[in-house]
Amino acid sequence: MLDNTLNTLLIVDDAVENLTVLDALLRPHYQIRVATSGEKALRVAASEPRPDLILMDVMMPGMDGYQVFDYLRAGPATRDIPVIFVTAMDSAEAELRGLDAGAVDYITKPLVPAIVLARVRTQLELKQARDWLSNKNVLLEAEVARRMLENELTQEVSIRALAHLAETRDPETGNHILRTQSYVHELALRLRQHPRFQNALSDRYIKLLSRSAPLHDIGKVGIPDAILQKPGPLTSAEWEIMKTHAHLGAEAIELAERDAARPVEFLGLAKEIAHWHHEKWDGGGYPDGLAGDAIPVSARLMAVADVFDALISPRVYKPPMPLSEARDIIAAGRSIHFDPDVAEAFLQGFDDFAEIASRHVDPPA
C-alpha cells in the first residue's frame, strides 16, 4: 500500500491560478512543492526533498516543458523522476510528442479532479515499484559480487595450497611461485599491445594466466625425493624421470577438469603451462618438442619467468646467479630457448623484474 504522506510532488506552471487549483487538489494527499518557471523547476527538482513526481505545464515563457524535461533527463540526480505533462493542448499530436519525449502521462485541461488524482496515484505506485526493483537489483548485484569475490578468493587459496604442496617436496624454491606469478603478469602486461599478442592477451586472459601460473610445477609431487632433492648433477636416466613432471602436472589438472561439473577456464591455462613451459622456441625442449608459435602463449611467458627465477635462486645443486648474468642468459636465449618478442619484453623491463625478485626474496635458510 502506497503511503501518500511520504510522497513529494512538484507542480510547475507559470500561471498562478493553475498552481492554486492543483495545489488545492493534491495538498491534502501529498507534500507539495511549486515552481513558476522552467529554470526554477530545475533548481527545485535537484534540491531536497526530491520530488517523487513532477506535474508540468508544457507552454511556459522562456524554457518550455519539453526543454525542462530534457534538462531533467540529462541530470544524474533528476533523470529518474517521472513527469506528467499538464497542458491545454488536447491534440493527439501534442500528446504523442509529450509521451515520445519520455513523459509517463499526459493530462489535458480543464482538469478533472478524480482523473488527476487517479493518474498521480498510478504513477507514484509505478515509481515505488521501480524503486523497489532497483533496490533489489542493487542488493542482488552486491550479493553476486560478494559471492564471486568469495569464490575467487577460495580458488586462489586452493591454487596456492596445491602449489605449496609441490613446493614442500622442493623446499629450497621458497617464494618461487610468487615471483614467477608476478613475472608472468608483468610480461603479459608489457606484451598486450604487441601485434603478435594483442588478440590473445585480453584483460581476462591475463587475470586467468596469473591465477594459473602457480601450478606450473605441480607435477613435481610425482618425482622421487632422491631425484628432486639430489645435491649434484642428475644422471641421464634421472633427468628423463625429472622431465616427466610436465606430463604429470598436466595429467593431474586434466583429472581435476574431468571432475568439475562444468569447464573451469583457468584450469585450461594451468594445464598448458604445466605441460609445455619447458618447450623451447627452436623445438629443443620437452616433453613434446614443440617449436615457435605451436607453443601456447601462456607456456612461452612462463618459460622466461621460470628460467630467470631458477637462475637467480639458490638450489641444492647450485648457488644463486647474479641478476646481470641471468639477464645475459635470457638475452642469449632469444629465438633459441625463448620466443624472441617475449625475451625482448623481459629485457626492456628488466629493472621491474629485478624489483619483483627483490620484493619476494627467499628468507634465509
Answer whether 316's CB lies under 8 Å from 230's CB: yes
All three cell numbers of 200, joined, read 590473445
User: Residue 169: what pLDDT?
Assistant: 63
Whether omega before 110 lies within 30 degrees of 0, making that bond cis, reads: yes
User: Residue 137: what pLDDT?
Assistant: 79
3-class SS at 35?
strand
CA diameter of the chain = 103
User: Residue 294: what pLDDT?
Assistant: 98
Residues 211, 365, 157, CA angle at the centre, nearest 5°? 20
Answer whether 55's CB lies under 8 Å from 12's CB: yes
User: Residue 168: what pLDDT?
Assistant: 64
Tracing cell 616427466 back to the chain, one arrives at 244
User: Residue 228: what pLDDT?
Assistant: 87
> What number of other Cβ atoms are within 10 A of residue 261's Cβ?
5
User: Residue 1: what pLDDT?
Assistant: 44
d(CA 85, CA 141): 34
Rounded alpha-carbon distances, angstroms, from residue 33 to 11, 49, 293: 6, 9, 70
CATH of domain 4-140: 3.40.50.2300
* Residue in 41, 40, 37, 32 with CA at minimum distance from that of residue 15: 37
**Mind giving me the DSSP string for 288-352?**
S---GGGS-HHHHHHHHHHHHHHHHS-BTTBPPPPHHHHHHHHHHTBTTTB-HHHHHHHHHTHHH
Q: At what angle do helices 350-359 and 340-348 cross, to 10 degrees?
A: 70
d(CA 31, CA 168): 70
d(CA 56, CA 174): 71
Residues 337, 342, 346, CA angle at the centre, nearest 5°? 100
Torsion sign over Cα 204, 208, 210, 213 = negative
In CATH terms, the fold of domain 170-359 is: Hypothetical protein af1432 (1.10.3210)
d(CA 338, CA 295): 10
Strands of 31-35's sheet, edge to edge?
31-35, 8-12, 53-57, 83-87, 105-108
61-82: burial string, b at 16+ Cβ within 10 Å, e else? eebebbebbebbeeeeebeebb
**What does DSSP assign to residue 89?**
-
- Does this chain's domain 4-140 share its CATH topology with 170-359? no
Q: Taking the complete model, does pTM exceed 0.95, yes or no?
A: no
User: Residue 361: what pLDDT?
Assistant: 87
Q: Where are the domains of the chain?
A: 4-140, 170-359
> What number of other Cβ atoms are within 10 A of residue 98's Cβ?
25
**What does DSSP assign to residue 263?**
-
User: Residue 160: what pLDDT?
Assistant: 65
User: Residue 262: what pLDDT?
Assistant: 74
d(CA 357, CA 178): 9
Q: Which residues of the chain have pLDDT under 70?
A: 1-5, 90-92, 94-95, 98, 153-174, 365
